[in-house]
Structure 1
Amino acid sequence: MRRFISGTVLIGMVCIGMTIAYNFAPFVAVMLAAPFARGNPTNAPDNNNDVMAADHMIVAALAKADKAAASNMFDANFMWTNSAGDTLEDFSTGKVPDYLPKPPLGDESGAQVSERTYGQVSAVQVASGKVHILRIWVMRPAGWRLLDYHEVTQRSGAAPPPGPTTNDCENPCKGVPYTPKNDAEKGILKSWGELETAVTNHDPQGWSPHFLDEFVLISSSGTDPVNKAGRLAQLSKPGIGPAPPQLAADPQVRFFHFGDSVVMIAQANPYSGKPAHISRVWVNRDGMWRMAFSYQTTIQSAVPIVPPKS
């Protein structure tokens, strides 16, 4: 081997370089895809041990319908939205009902789980087939508490016929029916209006800065999760509109503040059709509020919105 290298130094270096590149290609591909991966906890990009321990406990308690064990980990503002878009009000009013909803994935054995921590906010994402769950944990003086449990079941069949749309984006592009209470909420609403303006105008460059690299959109109206790269590809197609859903005035949007991380819970009203319940995590990076996740579940029990007559 030494004789070969000494006799053909240049060729040897090239071969070694090609071998290293070949062997590391899968590693590089995985690293590039990591922000969008939804793997097992051991392969997830963050994995806060304290959060994952609490999450394992809540999953076990819910699978066993152990109300006492589960309620000890609920935040005072805890809410649960199921795949039908129903948000259980008993939780959101600070009360624990006599029953616990049945988790769609049971003890979640075999499901893909990932976790990311943003300061005092943690997002645990679970996926099995078309079923997705977002659990948002927040740090309280007593430790990590579960603030939001959001289920999304994505469709497996063909998309329904499109309803009427509009290209006029007033809400949230130019304003929303909510008065921000502080600079963080002002910054979030400003970022949201700008990104939705970019969506309406099919402007990927204007859209991209408003999202973290690991961004993922999971909607019950879609068939698969859409990561940042996928959304950029969609917006790169020439055209304009349709305008995005509007922020509902009732129920009012709710913001839960944890320093540079904010949880946003809202209802989005489309131009036509049924509204959706939305859970989002916003993170302040380099002075701009950027979206990390968006889970959207159509409220099946809602009366469809009828667009105004032209």
Structure 2
Amino acid sequence: VEEDGSYTVDLDITDLTDGDLDIVVTGTDNNGNPVTGTGTDELDAVPSEITVETDVDNTGPNITVTGDTTDIPPGSELEVTITDQNGNTVTTTAIVEEDGSYTVTDLDITDLTDGDLDITVTGTDNNGNPVTGTGTDELDAVPSEITVETEVDNTGPSITVTGDTTDIPPGSELEVTITDQNGNTVTTTAIVEEDGSYTVTDLDITDLTDGDLDITVTGTDNNGNPVTGRGTDELDAVPSEITVETEVDNAGPTIDVTGDTTDIPVGSELVVTITDQEGNTVTTTAIVEEDGSY
């Protein structure tokens, strides 16, 4: 106590916990009686923090969330929220242990959509201030798939392609490609509906060649991975035909046979047979040229 009755103490309080402080000053007056003075203050020396570590089990699917806290009282309740890319959430709580750690084990996230997950853990520090820790992970529990069904209208000719998707976001664009046996293609797009279905109606395939068709539908799943669905069909829009023109050289005798083909592949081998009135035959082959002639 100074001459003017004042006093000062500069005391190290490193070992005290953040939060409210009660200050008690005691002494003895001139009559020998005890005297006490009290005050309050607040200590906020330690930065508050929540760390977040996660482990997703896609077979559940479930998630385990662990971490450590700083400046949050043991026994405090933390709120743990898992949010998928569509804004769907699963929420639970965890308790801060004596060593500051917390654990949420095998939290069911069946109702969340595959893709990126945001994990948020919130609590309150020793000073009553909110504290938030964040983390990210990825869910890939649902196998992605595109089914392909087709119907060819040879009178068009056109093709209708329909199907269903799994684990592909509604509104996504799919690429639909029709390829004929010569490698010619017709490509369009389709949009994934809310129920996962898609439809391409009466796609013009006039430029494709009759025969087998390969149909490929590609997209991207909720995890950003490519997905492909395949189907097959057959185009038979062009009536097939072989015209025959002949010229006999009696001096030989020989015969020239020429003509044109429709809907027969270039390079195909034709069998040419000459038969007389008595049933005798001469047979040879001819090759279909680029222009369809032989």
Instruction: Give the TM-score of the pair, scaled to structure 2.
Output: 0.22
Which structure's CA Rg is the greater one? 2
Higher percent of residues as helix: 1
Higher percent of residues as strand: 2
More contact order relative to length (CA 8 Å, sep ≥ 6): 1
